[in-house]
Structure 1
Amino acid sequence: MIPALGRLPVNVIPSLLTNFLRSQALKRISSVGPELCRADPVDVMCSPGSGGPAEDASVEYVYCRGAITELLKYGPTDLHAAIKSPNPPKMLILVIPGNPGVVGFYKTYMWTLYQTFIRRYPVWAVSHAGHCMPPETYDMIEDASVTEKEDVFGLNGQIEHKLAFLRKHVPRDTNLLLIGHSIGCYIILEMMKRDPELKVVKAVMLFPTIERMACSPQGKVMTPVLCRLRYAFYLPIFLLSLLPERLKVSIVRLALRNLYAVNTSIIPATVSLINVDCAANGMYMGSQEMRLVVERDNATVRQHLSKLIFYYGATDHWCPVQYYHDIRKDFPEGDIRLCERGIRHAFVLDAGEEMANMTAEWIFDDLRTL
């Protein structure tokens, strides 16, 4: 099961079992919030309903391009209605996840961003098509003929899936601040390339896998697994999925027992990985990533360079430091940063709050000008 789900599970499951969380999640709103928003700390800490990421979150399931899709939302849940209100939001912050695209892993990151800016801007995340366990009243696929014909679960299909989501759920003139993680960064570049009319104010690329994935240290290990051996993992995942839900939760909690401070949002997100359909969809997408994410799209990067922020990990086996040096050499004027804090590729495990605080600092000037 562990290597079968692509980038995130390779980092998620072993990390959950063997590493301590570096900081207690959500002890308080980041000190950057009052500074950025020029608000008294009490205004941020005591805002109504600021009980935590689970309490404030809205979770929805919709069909997009014929496949089940999970939406995680902080703030207004219907932007078409919100723009008609007296104080419509000036910006949508949208998170495009890694693979698998389980939005529950991003709760702490998203909630911290939402609170840091005193709930002024909605913060949403959209899962990848078929990367979530649908409720009992939903099927994984709404129309099998559509999903098969359009290859919705493949890499290209996932890009078109995000564009279709925006067309249906976000008013066309909405300002967008896009945040990508891992393969989500590649998807964002493709979205900006395919729909140049998107009103993207800024795009933040966290641990970007936008080139030479199969040649990276982790890619060399995972390429044969994802491209040729992934079917061998379906049976053990299926057998684990047959366990009662309470038992699966207990197993996850047992695995997390030695962690210093468990972020409770990780538990259901981790349990959701024990699903053969989600695993198959994630591995299929991952197999295409190994074959298709080869050359960096320098033309698109150059065209939108002023809108892009890249953040590379210093110990990232999916996009090694050499990739950082290469893109810095090609785009010396770009906002391209190298992590100095030891944050892992799968930052959502133990550095969601820290990563959100840094993101808030980077994007503050862009939000202030709206």
Structure 2
Amino acid sequence: MRVLAAMSGGVDSAVAAARLVEAGHDVTGVHLALSANPQSFRTGARGCCTIEDSRDARRAADVLGIPFYVWDLAERFRADVVEDFVAEYAAGRTPNPCLRCNEKIKFAAVLDRALALGFDAVGTGHYARVLDGPRGRELHRAADPEKDQSYVLGVLTATQLEHALFPLGDTVKADVRDEAERRGLAVARKPDSHDICFIADGDTAGFLRDRLGSEPGEVVDTAGAVVGTHDGTYGFTIGQRKGLRIGTPAADGKPRYVLDISPVDRRVTVGPREALAVDAVTGVAPRWCGAPPPASSRLSCLAQFRAHGTPVEAVATVSDAGVVDVAFAAPQQGVAPGQAIVLYDGARVVGSATIDTTGSAVSA
């Protein structure tokens, strides 16, 4: 097959590309330039979009003896990922930009272009597995649970899975680094990227403040009493405990957590930990990793609402209006609108949706 290998400049994508070459595919490497003003070096930059990263990717391609190109997708990334991220926080929601990047960039913009250029598939260094099932290709968890990235790939459709290759799905990270050394790849011990790639210094609140400005408001308790002030609701997430700027301690002396964010009246509500409990969520814009379930069907499944969260038993009900209602077997905490909820049947990813509303198990 002709395979386009997405090479970020890290060890995972380099070894993935090497395995694709070793498997006999006709491989071309591509680095995605996603930042209009990339950091020159990784010192002080925590993502995967630096100039140094593009050079590391090119050096790896040279070692593998494959053609290499840089695709400038900065404008597409800004519109589909960065602006969406800012808009979601401005609306009081908690987005996951990695899912949006996989959906809109790596497996939409890149895959579409690759197919148009005559490639058969796109290969990446994600830790996940694509297996042949009774009804076509299926997305499954990786063999290494510590590195499993099936959650952030839960937005992929059946058609996209037909053209996706994840060579690292059966491998643990330590073995990947050892393999990179054996292959003579200079990125073998390069640190992993972390946090949000387009926020170089990791200061999410500062990044949002620069774009949304100061929008001062009140921090209130569940009775509506003002207990503090803030500079913008975008600086808070559901379940947050630290940095609340509360001047009045709780009557019981216990910590308080963010329970609700209301950008319209610039109000953040805080309360006890137990008030975070959620029984159910309603998800919108579902994406199915295979054939969509029949409307009005009920699925016993495992639900996960964080990239490395613990899956919980749940029942999902699919409506014919593009809505998925998910009821948890036990109350969960820290669930926020804007997060993705990914549904599993064992290790297989059934699909995902964006959380629109939550149902509290405990009345605040």
Q: TM-score, normalised by structure 2?
A: 0.24
Greater strand fraction, Structure 1 or Structure 2? 2
Q: Name the structure where helix makes up a greater proportion of residues.
A: 1
**TM-score normalised by length of structure 1:** 0.24
Larger Rg: 2
